[in-house]
Amino acid sequence: METSQGRAKGADNPGKAEKELEMSIEIVDTLIVGGGQAGVAMSEHLSNCGVPHVVLERHQIAERWRSERWDSLVTNGPAWHDRFPSMEYSDIDPEAFTPKENVADYFVAYAEKIAAPIRCGVEVKEVQRNVGRPGFRVETSDGVIEANNVVAATGPFQRAVIPAVVPEDAGITQIHSSAYRNPDQLAGGAVLVVGAGSSGAQIADELLLADKRVYLSVGPHDLPPRRYRGRDFVWWLGVLGKWDAATLRPGKEHVTIAVSGAHGGETVDFRRLAAQGMTLVGRTESFKDGVMYFATDLADNLAQGDANKLSVLDEADAYVARNGLDLPQEPEARKIEPDPQCVTDPILDLNLAEAGITTIVWATGFTVDYSWLKVDAVDEAGKPKHQRGISAEPGVYFLGLPWQSRWASAFIWGVWHDAKFLADNIATRRKYLAYNSSVRCEYEST
Ligand SMILES: Cc1cc2nc3c(=O)[nH]c(=O)nc-3n(C[C@H](O)[C@H](O)[C@H](O)COP(=O)(O)OP(=O)(O)OC[C@H]3O[C@@H](n4cnc5c(N)ncnc54)[C@H](O)[C@@H]3O)c2cc1C
């Protein structure tokens, strides 16, 4: 392991310092917190730059892929795309959508391949800046470590968000999409799925196929075509430069994206789901006396999703024409079925008991949690203060954030490139710190 044991040279708190002087403290150059895909990518690039490091993962490598997602989940992009550049999936057709267990196995194998120094079962409890000397004091479930740099690779989707709409004692089971596993887990009765991004759309579809009565609350969303003119949408987004978009188009709010690799990969089609028996409702707004109230925006949200899909088709057609590509025409991709009755005559309030709804699945997203990072890298709202992952606190980095450098940042292939950028920055900064500095010698030798 590329670390050294050393003695702490004083600390901010004299009592603590004395105690630490008595015991040996491990010193590492760069500590990565989190052993998901981001932590693995960071380890690879730091190794390539010759930067000694350790990765601490509180559970197992790629744990969220293994145990924090529903059983039938497959990747949203085909296997040729949703992977790191230097290793293919050994057991998955490149055009297929990878089951989540295989994604977790892939990152375990990848970590082995690059000999990533990952310690599983170690949780980082707190990171503080040393006072009067460089580096950080990192308290873990396995003792204290001192590090020159800390990379927070704890994921873009850390804490499940359930809006405070329905009180806990309302007599209805409420779970977040991250706790949903399969239809058998839910009690009998109808289900209201709130949120129609990739998670909500896929979970609602699965529940409908399991003969559940399903209500789906559809908010604003983007709805790219799964495939067009023989190419998957991930390819179109790549050649059209959309994964590289550094920010949203001016004037465009971030909305969730409804895309799915289920059933071999199909375009999400809310009207088709309605034709199969699902009841669509608008954005969930409030709840009172057993009645859920929905916004009047359902038809608008579907229309905006259609507009998003058509705009991708237009750009794809223009790309084909400009480059003289021989890709088959696909006019039927533009066909939009008439709005079903639940859209033309929307339900605006629903007595949940009368509708037989026993469970609400909140597919309403996640937020970050950096409460363990007690340095000047997080704002008052708990959000990272950073530029492309380089935080306001020198030596502290973030990785895997949504839109960290571009749209692809929180996805499998995007995080690998962001990690490369950060590793380069860490290696460069080490050179400045090492310049003519005896203080840094100990760290440099680790
Ligand atoms: C339902 C769903 C489906 C997705 N599908 C796709 C897809 O198909 N394709 C795609 O490219 N992306 C997909 N993503 C997005 C993204 O790829 C995943 O969210 C991925 O898990 C992010 O990897 P990460 O390493 O950044 O974070 P995580 O996977 O969240 O890993 C962070 C790790 O940090 C650990 N950790 C956290 N705090 C501490 C601590 N204090 N100490 C030690 N360890 C800690 C956690 O245990 C975890 O293992 C999906 C996301 C979701 C939610």
pLDDT tens string 44-90: 999 999 999 999 999 999 999 999 999 999 999 999 999 999 999 99
> Confidence band (pLDDT; 50, 70, 90) for 442?
very low
- 303 C-alpha to center of ligand 1: Å? 31
* 123 close to ligand 1 (CB < 6 Angstrom): yes
* 227 close to ligand 1 (CB < 6 Angstrom): no
* 124 close to ligand 1 (CB < 6 Angstrom): yes
Q: How far, in Å, CA of 45 to CA of 233, rounded?
A: 29
Radius of gyration for the alpha carbons in the chain, expressed in angstroms and rounded: 24
* 418 close to ligand 1 (CB < 6 Angstrom): no
> What's the pLDDT score for residue 20?
52
In which region does residue 337 sit, left (phi positive, over 0), alpha (psi from -120 to 50) or beta (all else)?
Answer: beta
- 415 C-alpha to center of ligand 1: Å? 11
* 364 close to ligand 1 (CB < 6 Angstrom): no
Do the beta carbons of residue 367 and residue 162 sit within 8 Å? no
| Residue 155 alpha carbon, nearest atom of ligand 1 | 27
Tell me which of 31, 37, 72 to substitute to probe ligand 1's pocket, judged by most ligand atoms within 8 Å of the beta carbon: 37
| Residue 37 alpha carbon, nearest atom of ligand 1 | 25
Q: Between vectors from CA 235 to CA 40 and to CA 209, what angle results, nearest 5°?
A: 85
| Residue 140 alpha carbon, nearest atom of ligand 1 | 42
> What's the pLDDT score for residue 438?
56
Q: How far, in Å, CA of 291 to CA of 88, rounded?
A: 50
Residue 283, amino acid = R
* 35 close to ligand 1 (CB < 6 Angstrom): yes
Distances (CA, A) of 24 to 7, 18, 31, 366: 6, 12, 18, 39
Q: Between vectors from CA 246 to CA 156 and to CA 69, what angle results, nearest 5°?
A: 25
If you average pLDDT over residues 282-300, what whole number do you get? 98
| Residue 75 alpha carbon, nearest atom of ligand 1 | 8
Q: Which helix (H) or strand (E) holds 273?
A: helix 270-275
Do the beta carbons of residue 114 and residue 43 sit within 8 Å? yes
- 20 C-alpha to center of ligand 1: Å? 34
Q: How far, in Å, CA of 214 to CA of 278, rounded?
A: 5
| Residue-averaged pLDDT of the chain | 92
- 93 C-alpha to center of ligand 1: Å? 23
Per DSSP, 339 falls in state P
Q: How far, in Å, CA of 422 to CA of 45, rounded?
A: 9
* Percentage with pLDDT > 70 across the chain: 91
Q: How far, in Å, CA of 43 to CA of 55, rounded?
A: 7
Tell me: pLDDT of 17 over 60.
no
Do the beta carbons of residue 186 and residue 212 sit within 8 Å? yes
* Size of the chain in residues: 446
> What's the pLDDT score for residue 246?
84
> What's the pLDDT score for residue 65?
97
> What's the pLDDT score for residue 23?
60
| Residue 57 alpha carbon, nearest atom of ligand 1 | 44
> Confidence band (pLDDT; 50, 70, 90) for 128?
very high
If you average pLDDT over residues 278-288, what whole number do you get? 98
Report the predicted TM-score, pTM, of the whole model to 2 decimal places.
0.93
> What's the pLDDT score for residue 24?
77
CB-based contacts of 97: which residues, under 8 Å, 6+ apart?
74, 75, 76, 77, 78, 79, 261, 262, 264, 265
Ligand 1 atom 37: the closest Cα is on which residue?
A: 154
> Confidence band (pLDDT; 50, 70, 90) for 249?
low
| Residue 59 alpha carbon, nearest atom of ligand 1 | 47
| Residue 372 alpha carbon, nearest atom of ligand 1 | 41
If you average pLDDT over residues 262-272, what whole number do you get? 96
Helices 100-113 and 37-48, axial angle in degrees (round to 10): 20
Beta-ladder partners of 331: none
If you average pLDDT over residues 109-138, what whole number do you get? 97
Question: Which residue reads 């789901």 in tokens?
Answer: 273
Q: Which of 432, 381, 429, 374 has the alpha carbon at shortest distance from 152?
A: 374
If you average pLDDT over residues 17-30, what whole number do you get? 73
> What's the pLDDT score for residue 3?
42
| Residue 177 alpha carbon, nearest atom of ligand 1 | 1
Structure tokens belonging to residue 365 = 């997203």
- 157 C-alpha to center of ligand 1: Å? 6
> Confidence band (pLDDT; 50, 70, 90) for 145?
very high
> What's the pLDDT score for residue 250?
58
Ligand 1 atom 13: the closest Cα is on which residue?
A: 411
* 37 close to ligand 1 (CB < 6 Angstrom): yes
* 389 close to ligand 1 (CB < 6 Angstrom): no
If you average pLDDT over residues 311-340, what whole number do you get? 97
* 410 close to ligand 1 (CB < 6 Angstrom): yes
If you average pLDDT over residues 257-272, what whole number do you get? 95
Alpha helices (runs of H) in 37-83, residue ranges in sequence order: 37-48, 63-67
C-beta atoms surrounding 338 within 10 Å: 8
If you average pLDDT over residues 423-444, what whole number do you get? 78
CB-based contacts of 333: which residues, under 8 Å, 6+ apart?
225, 228, 229, 313
Tell me: pLDDT of 248 over 70.
no
- 7 C-alpha to center of ligand 1: Å? 35
Structure tokens belonging to residue 430 = 């080490």
Residue 201, amino acid = A
If you average pLDDT over residues 368-376, what whole number do you get? 96
Q: How far, in Å, CA of 301 to CA of 276, rounded?
A: 20
- 242 C-alpha to center of ligand 1: Å? 22
Q: Which of 57, 352, 412, 69 has the alpha carbon at shortest distance from 190?
A: 352
Q: Which of 108, 143, 127, 103 has the alpha carbon at shortest distance from 32?
A: 127
Residue 358, amino acid = T
Do the beta carbons of residue 422 and residue 397 sit within 8 Å? yes
* 146 close to ligand 1 (CB < 6 Angstrom): no
Judged by average pLDDT, the poorest of 97-111, 154-168, 239-253 is 239-253
Residue 386, phi then psi, degrees to nearest 5: -160, 165
> What's the pLDDT score for residue 384?
96
Ligand 1 atom 22: the closest Cα is on which residue?
A: 155
If you average pLDDT over residues 196-213, what whole number do you get? 98
Beta-ladder partners of 30: 53, 149
- 35 C-alpha to center of ligand 1: Å? 9
Tell me which of 54, 57, 370 to substitute to probe ligand 1's pocket, judged by most ligand atoms within 8 Å of the beta carbon: 57
Q: Residue 375, SS3?
A: coil
Tell me: pLDDT of 14 over 90.
no
* Buried-state track 414-437, b at ≥16 Cβ within 10 A, e below 16: bbbbbbbbbbebbbebbeebeeee
> What's the pLDDT score for residue 220?
95
Tell me: pLDDT of 9 over 70.
no
